Structure 1
Amino acid sequence: MSTMTVRQVLDIKGHKVHCVAPGVTVFEALALMAEYNIGAVLVTDGERLVGIFTERDYARKVVLKGLRSAEVSVGDLMTPAPATVGPEQTVDEVMNIMTDKRFRHLPVMENGRLAGIITIGDVVKSIIDLQRRTISHLSNYIAGDIAT
């Protein structure tokens, strides 16, 4: 049983990444997240990844502190220099990172450039798909064994 790589996951789900500039207001970032039904946006300065802003950042840094999302910028509240993964890493490796560090979103970098984002949902889906294929393979093997 082999595991998928991050590249294979991105090839299936797509490489589209939603990014905002550090000066964008939290309100604007939340509107983008709501529009695309996503839990995080990457913060970029030109082509350079400088941070990540997540629903968790909003809940803990805006709501709990009584800030106004229309008046504070993403750059002030983002998680700077986020952990990243590479396209050749396995889903198992990503799952371990996410579990150990309690991350739900990891930017994917390839040759210093943003190549996508992998989420906990992507990881779970790929593991379920792999288990389905394994069960199907074993069922076919057993059915073939019984038929002979």
Structure 2
Amino acid sequence: MGTVRNILQQKENKIFSVNPNDTVFSALEKMVENNIGALLVVDEGKFVGIFTERDYARKVILKGKASKETQIKEIMSERPPSVNPDNTMEECMALMTTKYIRHLPVFENGELVGLISIGDIVKYIIDEQKFIIENLEHYISGT
């Protein structure tokens, strides 16, 4: 099974982030523009947390807060679990399952290098299985 590094190499690894003082509304706009479900929260170049659709649903909507006035720092998840590029897909899936999360920041040598989602992992596994199946079909048919 592959590693986080394999996913980072396959996807266009842009790091989408917001500042803790940004409004939830502006963060949601950025998420919609980029078709993503989470943003890393970075303050003066330092990773401080993550903001996800789940944070919005549970900490803004259900608590009756206004997204145009609420700042990211009020509702972001601080110190989320993270991985490094050498973690396997199995390790990531186990971490996501036990922590009930869908996004993992990726750090290498203490530096933030990306973000992977459960969708990235599923896509990688499906692509890997398709490749194996195609190779087996060619082997069986002798082509």
1:37 counterpart letter in structure 2: N
Q: CA deviation at 1:14?
A: 2.1
Q: CA deviation at 1:51?
A: 0.6
Q: CA deviation at 1:141?
A: 2.2
Structure 2 equivalent of residue 14 of structure 1:
12
Q: CA deviation at 1:99?
A: 1.7
Q: CA deviation at 1:47?
A: 2.1
2:85 counterpart letter in structure 1: P
Q: Is the 8 A contact 1:50 1:82 kept in 2?
A: no
Whether 2:92 is the aligned partner of 1:94: answer: yes
Aligned residues: 143
Tell me the distance in 2 between the aligned counterparts of 1:119 and 1:111. 21
2:119 counterpart letter in structure 1: G
Q: Which runs of 5+ in 1 are unaligned?
A: none
Structure 2 equivalent of residue 126 of structure 1:
124
Question: 97, 100, 103: which is aligned to 2:101?
Answer: 103
Tell me the distance in 1 between the aligned counterparts of 2:12 and 2:105. 13
Q: CA deviation at 1:48?
A: 1.4
Q: Percent identity?
A: 52
Deviates more, 1:10-19 or 1:51-60: 10-19
Structure 2 equivalent of residue 53 of structure 1:
51
2:139 counterpart letter in structure 1: Y
Tell me the distance in 2 between the aligned counterparts of 1:118 and 1:29. 18
Tell me the distance in 1 between the aligned counterparts of 2:82 and 2:137. 38
Runs of 4+ with >3 A deviation: none
Question: 75, 81, 84: which is aligned to 2:82?
Answer: 84
Query: What TM-score do you get using the length of structure 1 for normalisation?
Result: 0.92
Question: Deviation per CA, 1:43-98, whole angstroms, max 9, x where unpaired?
Answer: 01122111100000000100001000111100010000111100111122111211
Deviates more, 1:99-108 or 1:70-79: 99-108
Aligned partner of residue 80 in structure 1, secondary structure: coil
Indicate the structure (1 or 2) with the bigger Cα radius of gyration: 1
1:72 counterpart letter in structure 2: T
Q: Is the 8 A contact 1:48 1:113 kept in 2?
A: no
Structure 2 equivalent of residue 69 of structure 1:
67
Query: What TM-score do you get using the length of structure 2 for normalisation?
Result: 0.95
Q: Which runs of 5+ in 2 are unaligned?
A: none
